[in-house]
Amino acid sequence: MEIATKYHSTVIGRKGAHLHALEEGTGTKIQMPKRDSGDTSVTITGEELAVQRCQQAIRNLVKRGYSKITHPGTQSGSVIVPANKRAAVIGKKWENINAIQAATNTRVNMPERDSGNNQAIIVGKKEDIAVAREALQNLIDLGFSELTHPNYSRASIKFPVEYIKHLIGPKGQTVKSISGSTNCRIDTRDPSGNVIVVGPADGVAQARKEIQALLEKIVEPQPIAAPPAASDADVSAINNEFGVASAAAPEQPWAQDDPWRPVQDEPLNW
């Protein structure tokens, strides 16, 4: 049978434990390709029914991470992980998955990227699977779980959509500043229309305070400031540009001989 090289270690198991269990449990002999050979052919010899049983057990190992022969008493459960939540569930360098596996003594097999499969398989005991499943679902729904982010909390803050641009700020500077100073993740695109803040409890409280203060500043009526006054020089320049004589400008001598200059009426002598 053909097994991709990346699954060879899964079939072999730690110190050959899986391979040994498969051979003893089915009465077959399994020949694995040499390491780094690139060969994908796994040879199984034995009686026909035994070979078929061994092949099915290997398929289960590859697909689910366990089989009845190699992991007696082990069960599996699953959680649907939307593609847009995959990174949040896995965490940086798989830290979330590793934390869940360590805390629950389970194995979490995430679907391969771009495979079109959104089902994460949890392998372990029934009660442990339930705890791991809850942690994964919290990561999907809330962005954190008690197992992966102790003392984290979540806040939903009402923030009118028309003012969201003020919270984001030029090039995202405002929301990045609040996020950085509080060590919180701030989501301004939540379907509820609210701003979602996730992080350490004290950081969430501080982020809420800053966001609400910003909103109050935006919506509170502000006094209309008078436009800056022009200087005397500016006024003079504008008047000269439009041919308006300055009130303080002295009368020029040539203006007295101007025939169009208005004269003051004199009394008539009869």
Distance CA 163, CA 212 (A): 12
pLDDT at 35: 87
Distance CA 126, CA 77 (A): 8
Q: Mean pLDDT for each 10-residue chunk of the chain (270 residues)?
A: 94 95 96 92 96 96 89 91 93 96 94 85 93 97 94 94 90 94 91 89 96 89 53 47 45 50 50
Whole-model pTM: value is 0.61
DSSP state of 223: P
pLDDT at 218: 86
The CATH number assigned to the domain with range 75-141 reads 3.30.1370.10
pLDDT at 191: 78
Distance CA 106, CA 104 (A): 5
pLDDT at 73: 85
Superfamily the domain 152-219 falls into: K Homology domain, type 1 (3.30.1370.10)
Distance CA 270, CA 32 (A): 140
The CATH number assigned to the domain with range 5-64 reads 3.30.1370.10
Q: Say whether 75-141 and 5-64 share the same fold.
A: yes
Domain boundaries, the chain: 5-64, 75-141, 152-219
pLDDT at 228: 55
pLDDT at 234: 43
Q: What beta strand segments (E) does 42-169 contain? A: 43-45, 75-80, 107-109, 119-124, 152-157
CB–CB of 139/148 below 8 Å? yes
